[in-house]
Amino acid sequence: MRVSIEVQKRVKVAISNQLLKRVILRTVQKSQLAIQRRGSVVVGIAFVSDREIQRLNRCYRHVDAPTDILSFANYRTSQAVEQAPRGELALGELVISMAAVKRSAKERELSQQAELRYILSHGVLHLLGFKHGEKMFSIQDNLLKSTL
């Protein structure tokens, strides 16, 4: 499976597109959804400021505070992802606040890159239709522990 990403960097980000693609691919593989034989999946990623993500969070979730990531999925459930028409699978868009990632990394005593991998996998799982729960967090933890 090939991963295509469309990246917008509105703030400074020290991570390669190759690493972003590897995290997305590994997350899709670990999800065990029946989409492995797809030609490719597409994910849009925007790295933004706290101010921008707070505006989006207020607009879409009615929470007037910054957050680390927002997911805008093209499919509501994992079943819908699996049943999507053949061909390129556009999963949706992720918006990430690097300032929030830096704060979380410090609080959790992780490198910024490790925290970004964790947050990115979290967002991808939401794009795949996962909701917060044991299975989702287990996949994230597993990916954090693995070397990509």
CA distance 143 to 89: 22
* Predicted confidence (pLDDT) per residue in 88-146, tens digit: 999 999 999 999 999 999 999 999 999 999 999 999 999 999 999 888 888 888 887 87
When comparing pLDDT for 142 and 42, which is higher? 42
* Predicted confidence (pLDDT) per residue in 54-100, tens digit: 999 999 999 999 999 999 999 999 999 999 988 899 999 999 999 99
CA distance 119 to 69: 7
What's the helix, strand, coil split of the chain in %, to 5? Answer: 50, 20, 30
**Which CATH superfamily, name and number, covers 2-145?**
Metalloproteases ("zincins"), catalytic domain (3.40.390.30)
Give the CA count within 13 Å in the CB-facing half-sphere of 68: 16
Prediction pTM value: 0.92
